[in-house]
Amino acid sequence: MSDSHRRENHSPVPCWNAEADLGQRDAPGDAPAAASGDWLLLLPLSAGAVALDLGCGDGALSLELAHYCDQVVAVDAEPANVEATRRRASDAGLSHLQACRGNLDALISARRRFDLVVVRDPRRALAGVRPAQAVERLAELVAPQGCLAIAVGNPPEGAMPRQSGTRARGARWPWWGEYGARRLHRALEAAGFPNPQILAAVPDPHQPEILFPVTGEAQGRVAGRLISRCLRPGRASRRTLLYAATALSQWRAARWTCPGFWVIARAPACMRATMAEEMIRRIVARPRSRDWRRGDPVERARVALRARELNFVLSRAHAGEGEHAALLVVPTGWGNPACILRAGRWRSEAPTVGEEEVGLTKLRSQVVGRLRESLPEPLGTSEVREHHAAAHAYLPGVPLHQKVVAASPRQARAVAEHALHTVAAWLAELHEQTSAGPWIEGEAAVERVRPLLIPTASAASGWPLLQRVAGGIAGAGLRLGAAHNRLRPCHILLQEDGIAVTGWEHLALEGLPLVDLLGFAHALGAVLAGGGRVDPGVAWRFAYREENWYSRAVRIAVDGYCERASIDSDAVPFYLATTYLRAAALQDPLGKTAPLIHLAGLSLDTLDWR
């Protein structure tokens, strides 16, 4: 075996395994299926909307629909699926979700119409009916102002039990199959639905990380830049990765290899805007700020968002990934997004969605020069039927994660070293411009630091470490300043003249210094050591414990930051322990706190930064 072949088969870089993604998943176990409802923002849902989930399976998508519609009817022919949906709805407290046994014929006989009809798995829900006939019959269920959405691709987990290693018919070729996107598009047009829309879903139509219209060249280019962030690990070569990241935007035939689609069709009389469009129109309709300048890029984006037709690219893995959907808004005729819209999935998220905009506005007022230009400019907030959203201007650049993943090992090393020093200098400047408070130490520092650390003690086993960390940081003294609090490689955008930083939903204007840099170094080490899918202990050893090129680069970057921020190098292990305690708090619901708390203890007991 040649060296190049060996590297391809054992490369730690995540690659898109086309064979695994295009319909060869084994049947799942007994775990409940999951679905993502972020894409529902791209539908014309009105107040009081009534939705039908035909072939609901165990109700994964029905639960998501219940957060956007006032009433949801989940229908399935299997009694076990109906009971599972009822149980999940009861556990979630969703009294407006009704699950019942039935099929397409029974629904047509009931002569009931819905504002939204969703078919997650047409091969099962419409079994025995040809696509043209199925579409004509589904049209009878759609209200005059309603729409129809059909998933194409891998069936949802748990929806179609089958023998391990087998494929559902048509799942391998979701573009050309019997219920493929191309055939459904033609059938919908023949049934009287004007201009049906096809949205490409990567890597799965039921849990899409990226969703974009296949007919939009600009949207395709935007999506192509995002593809590599959600590629699955496999044995595909680096050439396959590069193809997957660019082909969808440069070659129309590449849609044939897309793992799934959503085909969306509006009723002929439906003139409603989508929820996402309503949100962004309300934001940009507000008066411009007093200090606006003619020719300003942000003002130019506002004009385009008001006057042009809008297209959306959904990116769950976009910079600032977290609890909210990220929609890149591309006006017609634009080659890049004009802004990024972040919308809450659930109505209970109202207080949290706008926090990023408020914090960014305050932060931008405290910094000047190139530092201010590297921060996204907030555009405003809006509310549509109790769903809150915030938008900020789009910042161009190549995400660091994507740059490292697509590079050769030698190039990845050079990119990582440069990024470490650049990010360290950027964070040091941020701390210098925002740490206007006095120098604190001793008991005064303990009183200020402890409230910042208490949220990290979500697990009882982390409390003794918390006491040590607070004492160690307070003993060295510090100045509080602005902190990102969750800096990852996907938040760093590489530009020609520097970097930009996004994803500020955890911003603290008076936060701990150095924690951002240490957390970033760990996350970048995880990407280099195993494509981001390695045990936290492996990344910790690679970045901080072992003697290698990366740990040396991390030490140089951290020492440079400490010198500019006046932090004693002896306090570095205490700050590093803080990063793992905070990560433990964030991952506590997932039951992953023990390894992270263990790493916090190792950072205190084994690392010597002198």
Tens-digit pLDDT profile for residues 113-137:
999 999 998 988 888 888 899 999 9
H/E element holding 373? helix 370-373
Residue extent(s) of CATH 3.90.1200.10 domains in the chain: 398-606
CB atoms under 10 Å from CB of 557, counted, come to 24
Q: How far apart are CA 181 and CA 89, in angstroms?
A: 31
> Which stretches of the chain score pLDDT less than 50?
1-32, 158-171, 228-243, 245-251, 317-322, 350, 457-460, 588-591
Q: Are strands 71-76 and 97-101 parallel, antiparallel or unpaired?
A: parallel
Token pair 């972020």 is at which residue?
38
What pLDDT, on the 0 to 100 scale, is given for residue 236? 38
Helix ranges, 48-205 (H):
60-65, 79-92, 104-110, 122-125, 131-139, 181-190
What pLDDT, on the 0 to 100 scale, is given for residue 305? 93
Residue extent(s) of CATH 3.40.50.150 domains in the chain: 29-197+260-266
CA distances from 246 to 220, 240, 250, 459 (A): 9, 10, 6, 44
What pLDDT, on the 0 to 100 scale, is given for residue 216? 58
The encoded tokens of residue 226 equal 């995002």
Beta strand spans in 240-397 (E): 260-266, 310-315, 325-331, 339-343, 378-384, 387-393
Pick the closest to residue 125 from 207, 37, 56, 25 (CA basis).
Answer: 56
Q: Which of the following CATH numbers is that of domain 275-393: 3.30.200, 1.10.890, 3.30.70, 2.60.40? A: 3.30.200
Pick the closest to residue 405 from 238, 553, 221, 563 (CA basis).
Answer: 238
> What does the DSSP 8-state code read for residue 503?
-
Q: Quick check: pTM over 0.75?
A: yes
CATH of domain 29-197+260-266: 3.40.50.150
Q: 270-303: per-residue pLDDT in tens?
A: 999 999 999 999 999 877 666 666 667 888 888 8
What is the third-level CATH fold of 398-606? Answer: Aminoglycoside 3'-phosphotransferase; Chain: A, domain 2 (3.90.1200)
